[in-house]
Structure 1
Amino acid sequence: MAPERDPRAGDRLDRAILGEEPSLNALDVAAETGVTVDQARRLWRALGFPEFVGERAFNSSDVKAVATLMTFVDAGAIDFDMAINLTRGVGQTMARLADWEVSTLVSRVEELAAADEATGSRVSSAVRLIEEVNPPFEQLLLYAWRRHLAAAVARIEAMGANDEDLHTIDVTVGFADLVSFTALSNQLDRGDIGDLVELFESRCHDVVARFGGRAIKSLGDSVLFVTTDAVAAVEISEGIVNVVGRDPKMPDVRVGLASGAVVMRLGDVFGPPVNMAARLTQVARRNRIIVDQRTADLLPAEEWEHRRLPARPVRGFGLVEPLTIRRR
């Protein structure tokens, strides 16, 4: 017989994380911060939460956050629509990070709850872990954000300082894709699928970081990355093939590279090179790298040679002649 669920467990965890119980509704937040109710609700939706009409869903921390945000809006640094855009970015990023943190720590909660010195309560163990982990983790978040902000500003300065549109940059886009992942996932249990995806993503991200690239996003069985140097993109691709495709415990992998101008928005990149890199993986052989002509032209001829493959239809691009590359 399953143990009864404690209806107050969620409240205990909320208090441990937020520090206080909700006591304010949207009207209260608006009144204390000087924003309109509509603005308060837009900010709340931008964070990714459902809209609360008359419920007491907010506390003093929510009031402080809105007031802080509005100080640089009122000062004219940004307008309210920009504030909404930044808030949406924070919401989407933190939602994924929170899920990541919980899924990582849940096994530790089980260990603590099962330990001899524990009370046997998952909630008590979770509260204790939150109290121990969250303060230093919050410091790590601030440090990482500042580091990544500095890196993002440096990229903009290096790639687009002299251009009219700082959102558009020339890069080499890489798309790494696991072979036959759908069929494989149908054969594995849920835990093994999660472990496989986590291992694939972590190995790809490590290789991308090592060669100075930037991992844009992971899509389960694929990883999208960019770099300003075509040679580095090839080195990243070779590294991914080595640590993923050459591992007998991992599926094979295919990598497509395409170069050209992309648009940077909302932490993502858009443009023909992104689509081309993804399409090239569909015609690549297992544990091979395929590039477009632009990428091949960017590689030093004295170090690299390429071979043209037969033309084949690529969705959205018509007939395309991809190329394979190898070191001389």
Structure 2
Amino acid sequence: MAPEAADRQPEPERDPAGEELERAILGSDRELNAFEVAEATGVTIEELRRLWRALGFPEHGLEVAFTQADAEAVARLREIVDSGLIDIDLSVTMTRAVGQTMARLADWEVATLVHRVEELERGDEATGSRIGSARRLVDSVNPPFEELLIYAWRRHLAAAVGRLEAMGANEEDLHTSEVTVGFADIVSFTALSNRIDHVRIGDLVEVFESRCADVVAAHRGRVIKSIGDSVLFVNDDPIRAYDTAEGIISVVGRDARMPDVRVGLASGSVVMRLGDVFGPPVNMAARLTGVARRNRIIVDAATAELLPSDQFESRRLPARPVRGFGLVEPVAVRRH
């Protein structure tokens, strides 16, 4: 190792209380720089940088920025790559998936628990600082929550493998699937967010997302992503997709305390990659929400054809230009 690589660079000045909380979460102090991690694990500096960026963290140059746990995690990845089962590029892709998922989960957890921290500091067991109460929560909540993470990951992995096996019987390309895509959108969300305060808009979005997720799960679908004022979901059965859309309207749009919603459904072949879905049905479902009336479902012609006529009544609407698709005849559907 070059002499300059071993030179430790002082970290920027940090808040001692923040360091204490970080230590409680990570379980150890920062004590290694990038060169020391690379030397200890057998990865190159460039490989370490790629993995660190894939996790979603900025590079630190020669600062002392890594813990022993960081080095152990890199070493485990290196062992998997050395086994020949995956290469470094695939390990970076998997690491990026973990990083993006965990970053959102961590933000979600902190935003949820910060209110509890404030409650604790106002109560009889106040510690005198929010850091103290946060430390209490970390010590009591994190261990069982870590077990829950592993359990949930295994459960979802089993479900994902099951879907892959189901497709494998009929599909040559296991990344492609025939599904009905749903897009649920809050009506006039921008105007609404300009009228109410930040706390209220945050609560509204949380309720909207959680209610949509519950309905999607109840009808055996999957939420692909939530984007504040909208939720994208898929279902391999068009009838269940319609029931999902109707359920979302029922628990959101027909609740006087919630805003109106619009739902678009489109069916066809999509590509599933990196936890997301891509293809014309995704774009069509999103575009259809701009056509739907408040608290109504609108579908494309492909979905209308898949819904049995003995259960559903369909009505073609006048053709209109839809961005990216030209003239489209949306279809309004309802159960008999």
Shorter-normalised TM-score: what interval?
over 0.9
- Deviations along 1:90-136, whole A, 9 cap, x unmatched? 00000000000000000111111222232211111111110000000
Asked whether 1:233 is paired with 2:241, we answer yes
When normalised by structure 1's length, the TM-score is: 0.97
Match for residue 3 of structure 1? none
Q: Secondary structure at the match of 1:58?
A: coil
Q: Secondary structure at the match of 1:27?
A: helix
Amino acid at match of 1:209: A
Asked whether 1:82 is paired with 2:90, we answer yes
When normalised by structure 2's length, the TM-score is: 0.95
More divergent stretch after superposition (116-125 vs 199-208):
116-125
Q: Secondary structure at the match of 2:174?
A: coil
Match for residue 248 of structure 1? 256
How far, CA to CA, are the matches of 2:222 and 2:289 in structure 1? 19
Name stretches of at least 5 consecutive residues in structure 1 with no aligned partner. 1-5
Match for residue 130 of structure 1? 138
Match for residue 311 of structure 1? 319
Q: Secondary structure at the match of 1:186?
A: helix
How far, CA to CA, are the matches of 1:10 and 1:106 in structure 2? 15
What's the % identity of the aligned pairs? 70
Amino acid at match of 1:187: R
Match for residue 212 of structure 1? 220
Q: Secondary structure at the match of 2:270?
A: strand
Shift of residue 304, structure 1, vs aligned partner: 1.1
Match for residue 322 of structure 1? 330
How far, CA to CA, are the matches of 2:245 and 2:123 in structure 1? 44
- Deviations along 1:261-305, whole A, 9 cap, x unmatched? 000011000000000000000011111000011101111121112
Which of 131, 153, 159 does residue 151 from structure 1 map onto? Answer: 159
Shift of residue 160, structure 1, vs aligned partner: 3.7
Amino acid at match of 1:264: M
- Deviations along 1:62-93, whole A, 9 cap, x unmatched? 11101111111111111110000000000000
- Equivalence map 1:54-93=2 (5 Å): 54-93=62-101
Amino acid at match of 1:183: A
- Deviations along 1:145-182, whole A, 9 cap, x unmatched? 00000111111111244322111110000000111111
Which of 221, 224, 229 does residue 232 from structure 2 map onto? Answer: 224
- Equivalence map 1:139-178=2 (5 Å): 139-178=147-186
- Equivalence map 1:20-59=2 (5 Å): 20-59=28-67
Which of 186, 199, 211 does residue 194 from structure 2 map onto? Answer: 186
Q: Secondary structure at the match of 1:156?
A: helix
Which of 262, 283, 299 does residue 291 from structure 1 map onto? Answer: 299
Shift of residue 23, structure 1, vs aligned partner: 0.4
How far, CA to CA, are the matches of 1:317 and 1:296 in structure 2? 17
Match for residue 6 of structure 2? none
Which of 236, 258, 267 does residue 266 from structure 2 map onto? Answer: 258
Amino acid at match of 1:65: A
Q: Secondary structure at the match of 2:201?
A: helix
C-alpha contact 1:203 1:243 (8 A) present in aligned 2 = yes
C-alpha contact 1:114 1:120 (8 A) present in aligned 2 = no
C-alpha contact 1:177 1:255 (8 A) present in aligned 2 = yes
Amino acid at match of 1:244: V
Q: Secondary structure at the match of 1:96?
A: helix
How far, CA to CA, are the matches of 1:159 and 1:218 in structure 2? 25
Asked whether 1:276 is paired with 2:276, we answer no
Q: Secondary structure at the match of 1:324?
A: strand
How far, CA to CA, are the matches of 1:122 and 1:276 in structure 2? 47
Match for residue 102 of structure 1? 110
Q: Secondary structure at the match of 1:257?
A: strand
Amino acid at match of 1:305: E
C-alpha contact 1:160 1:168 (8 A) present in aligned 2 = no
The CA RMSD over aligned residues, in Å, is 1.0
